[in-house]
């Protein structure tokens, strides 16, 4: 558990999964590795909920940092296909954040919530001596819908077509190139392309668009562990095989060059804003068209097959793909921050 980033599956299954408090019949989906949300039954309706840290990086500009932080929280409910509708948020602010700066953060969150139809229902806001950027709190997003409308990341079925929005490592490259531009050994035009990737790290509306256009059988956002991690988690959870065409995977401008300069695998690096979507074959073209109408980059990258023997997994151009285990963007950030 010494690696930066999320704990691995072994720690989750050994320490957390066996100890989940009271055993309640109304919990229809409890904490599960590779699943970003939980579900509670409330009088026959599904309450989908997810919790994430709040990360604010002032060098991004407070408005952009706040919008990014909010989208990260809401996305874990949106990938269920249920629109987030309520938000509980806690801020543990560093002393140096002024009232005026916090007002900018909060106004941005409020405006985006209004646009998405999300109400803030409770929270806590305070300054303390120890908190420091970027980790300044946490939030819980909620959405209410029908149980049979929920899209789970482990729902992929044999024959489904696999779509990918945006592409690998857009978040990692966008953040690192914006925070540490002078330390990247790439041309200025590549740095500029990489910085533009920060405009592609928002996926709440894409997730809801895909679910509405469906039928979508499974959806997973490409966060820690990157594209490789998301594919492996989805295939393993569903007990199926994924066959992926590497050439079909979109690579956004600046991503390959920055990843190469930092010696990180773009397929293993976190990429908020990217979604892996399994779609019934009859609905895949409709999902692609709906996402393209939003201006979202989307490509069909593979198919869902029956598992080889009894072991599910992912193959890329015929070669097995392993879960990276550790996200290399954390070490890259730590190294750049200390230079």
pLDDT single digits (tens) 204-244: 999 999 999 989 999 999 998 999 999 999 999 999 999 99
For residues 206 and 299, give the distance between their C-alpha atoms in angstroms, rounded to a whole number. Answer: 13
For residues 166 and 291, give the distance between their C-alpha atoms in angstroms, rounded to a whole number. Answer: 10
pLDDT higher than 90, residue 9: no
**Average pLDDT along the chain:** 94
Phi, psi of 323 (to 5 degrees): -65, 130
Q: Which CATH class is domain 9-145?
A: alpha beta
With tokens 């819980």, the residue in question is 140
Per the rule left: phi > 0, alpha: psi between -120 and 50, beta: everything else, 237 is alpha
Superfamily of the domain at 160-337: PurM-like C-terminal domain (3.90.650.10)
For residues 72 and 186, give the distance between their C-alpha atoms in angstroms, rounded to a whole number. Answer: 28
pLDDT higher than 50, residue 69: yes
Query: Which pLDDT score is estimated for 306?
Result: 83
Cis peptide leading into 324, omega within 30 of 0? no
pTM for the structure as a whole: 0.94
Query: Which pLDDT score is estimated for 222?
Result: 95
pLDDT higher than 80, residue 4: no
Q: List pLDDT tens digits, range 82-126.
A: 999 999 999 999 999 999 999 999 999 999 999 999 999 999 999
Spell out the domain ranges in the chain.
Answer: 9-145, 160-337
């Amino acid at each position: 558990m010494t690696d930066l980033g999320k704990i691995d599956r072994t720690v989750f299954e050994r320490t957390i999964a066996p100890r989940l408090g009271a055993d309640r019949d109304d919990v229809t989906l409890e904490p599960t590795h590779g699943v970003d949300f939980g579900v509670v039954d409330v009088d026959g309706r599904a309450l989908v909920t997810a919790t994430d840290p709040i990360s604010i990086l002032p060098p991004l500009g407070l408005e952009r940092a706040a919008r990014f932080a909010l989208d990260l929280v809401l996305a874990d409910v949106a990938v269920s296909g249920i629109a987030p509708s309520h938000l509980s948020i806690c801020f543990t602010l560093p002393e140096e954040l002024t009232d005026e700066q916090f007002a900018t953060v909060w106004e941005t969150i409020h405006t985006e919530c209004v646009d998405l139809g999300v109400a803030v229902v409770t929270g806590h806001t305070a300054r303390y001596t120890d908190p420091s950027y970027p980790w300044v709190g946490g939030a819980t997003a909620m959405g209410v819908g029908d149980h049979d409308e929920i899209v789970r990341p482990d729902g992929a079925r044999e024959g489904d077509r696999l779509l990918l929005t945006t592409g690998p490592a857009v978040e990692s490259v966008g953040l690192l190139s914006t925070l540490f531009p002078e330390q990247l050994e790439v041309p200025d035009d590549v740095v500029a392309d990489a910085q533009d990737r920060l405009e592609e790290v928002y996926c709440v509306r894409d997730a809801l668009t895909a679910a509405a256009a469906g039928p979508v059988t499974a959806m997973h956002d490409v966060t820690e562990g990157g594209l490789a991690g998301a594919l492996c988690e989805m295939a393993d959870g569903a007990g199926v095989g994924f066959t992926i065409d590497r050439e079909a995977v979109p690579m956004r401008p600046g991503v390959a060059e920055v990843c190469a300069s930092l010696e990180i695998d773009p397929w293993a690096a976190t990429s908020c804003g990217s979604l892996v979507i399994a779609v019934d074959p009859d609905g895949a073209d409709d999902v692609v068209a709906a996402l393209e109408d939003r201006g979202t980059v989307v490509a069909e990258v593979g198919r869902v097959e029956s598992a080889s023997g009894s072991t599910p997994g992912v193959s890329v151009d015929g070669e097995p793909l392993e879960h990276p285990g550790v996200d290399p963007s954390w070490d890259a950030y730590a190294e750049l921050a200390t230079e």
